[in-house]
Every structure is written in C-alpha cells, then in structure tokens.
Chain A
Amino acid sequence: MKRAGFSTKWMPILLLMPQLVIIAIFFYWPAWHAIQSSFYLQDPFGFGSTFVGLENYTDLMGNSEYRRVAVFTLVFTVLVTFFSLAIALLLAVKADNVLRGARTYRTLLMWVYAVAPPVAGFIGLIMFDQSWGPLTRLAGFFGWDFVLGVNFNDTAAAMVLVSVWKQIPVNFIFFLSGLQSIPRSVREAALIDNGSATSRFWDVTFPLLAPTGFFLLIINITYALFDTFGIVDTLVKGEPGNNPMTLVYKVYVDGFRGNDLGGSSAQSVILMVLVLALTVFQFRLIDRRIHYT
C-alpha cells in the first residue's frame, strides 16, 4: 500500500488540533472534574467540602440499593440487547426473502427509530395506564394484573418492552443490508449443498452476518446502558420510588435531584470505567475472532 506523507510533522498536528481541542474540552476536562469531585463531599453551593478519599466508592459498594440497581441494569441490558437483536434479525430474514414491497416495509419500520426516547416512554405510559391502557387490558385478559409504577416487575417489563420496541428498527436496517450484501454465489452454493433452511441459516448466513451482528451488539449494549434514560425517566415519572432504575438514571437522581455531587461523581466514574472495559473488550477480545469480509 502506498503511504501518503506530510513534509513537516507540524502540519498533521495542526490539522488534528481542532478535533483534539474539542475532545479535551468536552471529554477529558469534565471527566477529570468528575474524578476529582468523587473524592470529596461538597456543599452544592460550593462553600464547604471535605476530602473523603475513597469513601464515596466504599459507600456505594456497601449500599445494598446500589447493588440492586447494578443487578437490575445488568438484567435489563441483557434482555434489551437480546430481544432487540433477535426480533430484528427474525424480521430482517423474513424481509430478505420477500423483496417486493421491502422498501415500504423498511420505511415504515424506520419511523419508529425517529421517535425520541421520552416520547417512546410517554407512549408506554399511555399504553400501560392503570385504568384504561390498552396493554394493561390485554394483560388483564390473560389474567395478569399489570400495574405500572406500583409493581417492580411490571414496571421493569414495560421498560424492557418500550426499549426493545424503539431499538428494533435500527437493528433491522443493519441486519437487512448485511443480509443483502452476502454474495449470491455463496447462497446458491449453500442451496445446492444443503436442503434445510434452518441449517443453511446457521452454517452460512449467520457467520457471514457476524461483523454486522458484533457491531450491533456493542451498539445495543451502549443503548441499553445509556440511551434508555429518557424511557426510564418517563415511565417512573421522575420519582423512582420502588420502581426499577438503571445506573445512569441513579447518577441523575442522586446528583441532580439530590444534590449529592460527590456520590454522583463516584457513580459516573464507575460508569466511565465500565465503558472503557467495554471498549477494550470490543477491540481486544471479540474483534479478533470475527471474520470481516
């Protein structure tokens, strides 16, 4: 491969500067502040503060509620990621088979993606209204006394459902284009070799979809961890009570509602470490095992 080069080493640095400055101001600087304030307990108005070392962290580790939120976040992330990937894949495979009208089908599904998370949450609130929500009635028809906002598990189910519903379209689009980029010759060869559609899918199509799938896996984990904030906030109406919440939402509840800056900073730092671990995992472990075409 031919290498393009610069005659001086200052030119590339100069060209990179705007980007680096933006990263420094909008990422490293706030991150540094978060790390710093996680070692203090400070008066919200900024009058007094006490250096407490790792106390904010040890308090979190010893707090059974924080552990409960962490466990819920894990379960929530696994469920949302699994269902939004699985359902989208199923829809994509079906859509791939019938190409007539696929464009309309795609556009219709894509619309849901344009719905903002709080709006999605609000639609959830309407669907699950305690006295007249259509989905509450549907659940009642099957003998499930669904009470959003009262029962922990019911609220959790609604959160998962709304989050999955909102994420399916984008996964669907990626899976569909992934499927369509599988070379015809490979498909035809598979068709000759093997009669069963199921084994054809698992032996040929699925491995070839792996790069798309892996990319979507990371995107969906990030979505479930962070972007569902608006949905969680709307479904618990800003006051979680005994309803489930995710780690990101707890940062907001303690920091912005409760003015506990130190505790909330410690939680943010833990999340930053989590994202870092996820990134390392993405590039180090999985990326190598995936075969990109």
Chain B
Amino acid sequence: MKRITFTTAATLAFAANAAFAETEITWWHAMGGALGDTVNQIASDFNASQDEYKITPVFKGTYEETLTAGIAAFRAGEQPNVMQVFDAGAATVIGAKGATIPVQDLLANNGVEFDINDYIAGVRYFYADSDGKMIGMPFNSSTPIMYYNIQALEKAGVTAPTTWEEFQTVTAPALKEAGYTALSQSHLPWIFTENFHSRHNLPFATNNNGYDGVDTQILVNNDAIKAHFTAVTDWQKNGYFEWFGTGWGDNQTPFEEGKVAMWLGSSGSFGGLSKKDLPFDFSATMLPYWEAVTTEPTQTFIGGASLFAMAGHDAEENKATAAFFDFLTSAEVQYFWHKETGYVPITEAAYEMAKADGHYDRAPAAEVGIQQLSLAAGDNTKGYRMGFYVQIRDVMNREYGRILTGETSVEDAFNAIESEANNLLARFAKTQG
C-alpha cells in the first residue's frame, strides 16, 4: 500500500473542503458503451466550466431499468436530480404530477432564458403537455431513417426509394436480382407503427393522440397500416424483406454484414455505424411513404429519451439542474453530442453550427434525421402520449412477430393489438384516479 504523506493528506482535506462548497447533483441515465463515454465527457465538461455545481452521471442499465430504478428511488425519497426517461415511458412520468418539475418552469424560475421555438420543429412537443409546455428536456433525440449500402444499390442500378410503391416495384426486385435481401428493419412498433402514423399524418389515438387526457383509445386498427403490413408480408414472401427477431441488433447485424441492402434504423445509429469498419460505404435517406395514402408526407417525431428534473430537491440543487440544462442545450454541447453519436441536435442554433462547420458536407447521412424532423408538420405529428405504453409495445411486438412467422393474419393481429391496448389504456386511466 502507498504511504500517504502529510502533504497529500493536507491537500486531500483541502480539496474535500473546496468540493463541499459546490452544489452536487446526480444524473441517472441509460447510455451504455460509447454513448456513456460521451455522457461522461459532457458531465465533466460542465463541471470544468464553472465551480459552483458538480454533476455526477450514473449509468442505470436499459431505459426500462433506469425508469424503474428512478421510480423506486422516488418512492423512497432518494431520487436523483436528473433522470433520463425514454419515449414510451413519458406518459408514466408526465402522468405523475408532482414527480417532476416541468423543465420550462425550472428554467424560468432560475433565470434561464427559454423559448420553445429555439428547438427544431420535430422535438418541441413530444415531451410537452397538451398546452405545449415543455415538461421533459429532449436529450438524445433520434428519428427513424433509412440506411443503405451504396455499393449494393449501384450494383442493382437503382437509387434509394422515396415511396414504398417505388420500393416494391423498382428497388426491391432489382436488389433481389443483384443477390441482396432488399430490406430489414429494427423496432417495428417505433418505425412501422408510431412513425408510420406521423409520416402519413394519421391519428394514432383519440384525445389528440393521447395528449389531452387519459381516457384514450388507440386508433392503430386502420386500413392504411393494415395495407402496409399486408404489403410487408408480400415482400417477405418475395424475398424483398426479412425479419430477424424482436431485438434491435438482430435486424441491424445482417445490414452490417452486407446481406441486407437497406435497413430502417435510428438516426442515432449513425455514430455507431460510422465507427464500425463496414465492408461497404453507407448513406441514408428519409423514411419512404405510401403515395396511395398521402402525396404530402409529413415529419416524423423523435424517439430516444429526454431528461426530467425530479421534484423534491432544495432550491439550490434545482438551480444547479437548471444551470446544467442551460449548458446542455448550448449550441456547442449539442453539436458535440450530435457529431459524436448521430442523435439530432435539438436546437436550431446547434444545427446552424453543424452546417457552418461543414459536418454535413463530410457526412450527408448525418443530416437526414434533422431534415426529416423539420418537414411540414400535421395535426398528428407531434408524438403520442399513452400510459402502460411499454406493455402496448410488447403486445405489438408479439403480434407483429406472429404475422411475420405466419402464426396469425394481419386482420386478427390488429384486432388483438387494438383490444389489448385499449384494455391497458383503461387500466392506466384507473391508476391516475
């Protein structure tokens, strides 16, 4: 063991004393691996940028695990100051009035300027209440986009499709001819359901997509999406589409291996894909749409997660949280996060900075997500708010799996999703009583 000299001990004591003057706050998050390193980098940059506050990031596992840990901590009165909550958990945390301080109030009360219009269009309202007040601070925001293997498309002599009609009549047959499976996709509920509705500006649930109340009914059992899934099963039969399982990576891996030519994933996957040594060049384009459903495709909304300021802390700590959010939303930090990970920058200022820096000239694919989020909005494009939504997604995953393995028909699957989801929504409404 190392001997501690008197001077070291004195220095340590002095350092501890100096640290005592800082207000310490904690941040629970679900960003593992390379994302976690970037989170730690942001936290230490914040700590180095001033000497009043100190934030400690703590990795808590998956999104679900982080939310469950946060809830348990809240019930024990030991909640962190900042908690990351994913899209599907938003209704749970926003529904619990008094669990969090709306981020807009937090910033206003602590003298930080806030204007929701500084944020890019697609991220403004997903974590807002029905009046448009921002409750959670969008953090790692992503949206589904279509990645493609440039060499594969060249070999097949086609370009990336803009519509699903083009995909099934031109792109997919050519890619099959060239020896590829044309398409795979990760997270069916997120891409082929939630964002399918916003891309075509279709209502997803009653009550203004669930924002206006808890007595919500899901509207997923509609002709447009049933026609889509019927088409997907046809593509599967023709060898244009393959499904490799419920896990995100199950469907990404065959694309990385070069077996699948196009993959629907998250704009946040960009950073990870760029760092991998793929055997081909890739680029990305916007999510295709059905011309038969709409000729004016609208924006998609964000997935990923946001940061909530947990209630029950003293004013000094809340001030520290506000200062951290201020730092986090600065253009420099947002651009750094965007560049490192591929998640979209959440403010217009950060987007401008990325453009000015030539980031998109070097990597055009990095801009696709933000372009798609900035498309024209519609009545049904700001997101959705439904309780017990994690379970509703589980039901969707199960039924989609059954459709794609031939265990059930599209019609029966959507009937099952509708009735089970409505049952869960009714149960959630009772928890708010």
Cα of A146 to Cα of B99 in the assembled complex, Å: 47
Given the interface pairs A239-B397, A256-B64, A258-B394, the reply to whether A48 lies near B407 with Cβ below 8 Å is: no
Let me know if B423 and A59 touch, CB within 8 A.
yes
Q: Is B109 an interface residue (CB 8 A)?
A: no
* CB contact between B71 and one of A44, A148, A149, A253 (< 8 Å): that residue: A44
Cα of A94 to Cα of B391 in the assembled complex, Å: 49
Let me know if A44 and B397 touch, CB within 8 A.
no
Given the interface pairs A43-B432, A242-B402, A258-B394, the reply to whether A149 lies near B250 with Cβ below 8 Å is: yes
In the complex, which residue of chain A has the Cβ closest to the Cβ of B249?
A: A237
A115 CB to closest chain B CB (Å) equals 23
Describe B's contact surface by its main secondary structure: helix
Cα of A147 to Cα of B247 in the assembled complex, Å: 13
> Which chain A residues numbered 237 to 271 have a C-beta less than 8 Å away from chain B?
237-243, 253-254, 256-260, 262-263
* CB contact between B244 and one of A150, A152, A260 (< 8 Å): that residue: A150
* CB contact between A48 and one of B68, B388, B431 (< 8 Å): that residue: B431
Let me know if B96 and A151 touch, CB within 8 A.
no
> Which chain A residues numbered 147 to 204 have a C-beta less than 8 Å away from chain B?
147-152
B393 CB to closest chain A CB (Å) equals 9
A49 / chain B contacts, CB cutoff of 8 Å: 431, 433
B318 CB to closest chain A CB (Å) equals 18
Let me know if A48 and B427 touch, CB within 8 A.
no
Q: Is A114 an interface residue (CB 8 A)?
A: no
B390 / chain A contacts, CB cutoff of 8 Å: 257-259
A13-52 CB mask vs B (1 if < 8 Å, else 0) is 0000000000000000000000000000111111111101
Cα of A44 to Cα of B71 in the assembled complex, Å: 7
In the complex, which residue of chain A has the Cβ closest to the Cβ of B420?
A: A65
Let me know if A45 and B401 touch, CB within 8 A.
no
A63 / chain B contacts, CB cutoff of 8 Å: 420
B64 / chain A contacts, CB cutoff of 8 Å: 256-257
* CB contact between A43 and one of B95, B245, B257, B391 (< 8 Å): that residue: B95
Q: Is B430 an interface residue (CB 8 A)?
A: yes
Given the interface pairs A149-B250, A259-B92, the reply to whether A243 lies near B431 with Cβ below 8 Å is: no
B249-282 CB mask vs A (1 if < 8 Å, else 0) is 0100110010000000000000000000000000
**Interface footprint category on B:** 35 or more
A50 CB to closest chain B CB (Å) equals 4
Cα of A253 to Cα of B395 in the assembled complex, Å: 11
Let me know if B71 and A130 touch, CB within 8 A.
no
Let me know if B98 and A47 touch, CB within 8 A.
yes
B66-83 CB mask vs A (1 if < 8 Å, else 0) is 011001001100000000
Given the interface pairs A52-B430, A259-B71, the reply to whether A240 lies near B98 with Cβ below 8 Å is: no
Given the interface pairs A149-B245, A258-B388, the reply to whether A46 lies near B75 with Cβ below 8 Å is: yes
Let me know if A259 and B67 touch, CB within 8 A.
yes
Cα of A230 to Cα of B391 in the assembled complex, Å: 20
* CB contact between A45 and one of B74, B402, B423 (< 8 Å): that residue: B74
Cα of A262 to Cα of B401 in the assembled complex, Å: 27
Let me know if A43 and B68 touch, CB within 8 A.
no
Q: Is A131 an interface residue (CB 8 A)?
A: yes
A262 CB to closest chain B CB (Å) equals 8
> Quick one: which of A49, A148, A149, A241 has the most chain B CB within 10 A?
A241
Let me know if A237 and B246 touch, CB within 8 A.
yes
Q: Is B418 an interface residue (CB 8 A)?
A: no
Cα of A254 to Cα of B433 in the assembled complex, Å: 20
Let me know if A150 and B431 touch, CB within 8 A.
no
Cα of A150 to Cα of B196 in the assembled complex, Å: 23
Cα of A131 to Cα of B181 in the assembled complex, Å: 15
A71 CB to closest chain B CB (Å) equals 15
Let me know if A242 and B431 touch, CB within 8 A.
no
Let me know if A130 and B97 touch, CB within 8 A.
no
- What are some 5 contacts across the A-B interface (CB < 8 A)? A44-B96, A45-B71, A148-B245, A238-B62, A241-B394
List residues of A whose CB falls within 8 A of some B CB: 41-50, 52, 59, 63, 65, 130-131, 147-152, 236-243, 253-254, 256-260, 262-263
